[in-house]
């Protein structure tokens, strides 16, 4: 099996959005086109995709840094490829991206009810933090 992890290109956008839908990441209040465009234009963020054995966009991860901490979003693996280590490889690529920028801590958000995903991140060494996430919409959604 040959996996190539690379930055997303213009021609990947539709496939990434399709992947996010199939992987259950889509939420109507987070338009994927907007998130992808924002990530791709910022030097502080990257959207990485994985091609496996020549099949494009089998997995994705969005990674960014805010000058203090690293953040990971949209880790997705095609449902037909789950359980084959692609998620771990994408997280390793995201962590390498952060380390190359001098970032020493990575954070992410997981919906409380998503036990399977929480277990995945536990296995990668993530811990549940003793914080409360708060949010405020600056635009109507």
Q: Is the residue at 134 inside a domain?
A: no
| Calpha distance 76→26 (Å, rounded) | 11
Sheet with 55-65, side-by-side order of all strands? 3-7, 45-52, 55-65, 70-77, 106-108
Residue 23 lies in a domain: yes
pLDDT (0 to 100) of residue 1: 84
Residue 141 maps to a domain: no
Split into its structural domains, the chain has a count of: 1
Phi, then psi, of 89 in degrees rounded to 5: -65, -40
Return the sign of the alpha-carbon dihedral for residues 100, 57, 123, 129: positive
* CATH number of 33's domain: 3.40.630.30
Q: Does residue 16 sit within a domain? A: yes
- Could you report the average pLDDT of every consecutive run of 10 residues in the chain (141 residues)? 94 97 90 93 96 94 95 96 94 98 95 91 94 90 76
- pTM value is 0.93
Expressed as residue numbers, the domain containing 59 is 3-123
pLDDT of res. 69: 95
Chain-centroid distance of CA 48 in Å reads 8
Other Cβ atoms within 10 Å of 62 Cβ, number: 23
């Amino acid at each position: 099996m040959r996996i190539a992890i690379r930055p997303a290109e213009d021609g990947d956008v539709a496939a990434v959005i399709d992947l996010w839908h199939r992987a259950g990441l889509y939420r109507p209040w987070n338009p994927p086109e907007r998130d992808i465009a924002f990530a791709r234009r910022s030097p502080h963020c990257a959207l990485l995709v994985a091609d496996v054995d020549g099949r494009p966009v089998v997995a994705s991860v969005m990674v960014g840094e805010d000058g203090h901490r690293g953040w990971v979003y949209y880790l997705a693996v095609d449902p037909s490829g789950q359980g084959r280590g692609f998620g771990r490889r994408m997280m390793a690529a995201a962590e390498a991206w952060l380390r190359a920028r001098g970032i020493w801590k990575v954070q992410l958000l997981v919906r409380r009810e998503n036990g399977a995903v929480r277990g995945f991140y536990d296995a990668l060494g993530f811990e549940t933090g003793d914080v409360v996430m708060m949010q405020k919409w600056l635009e109507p959604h």
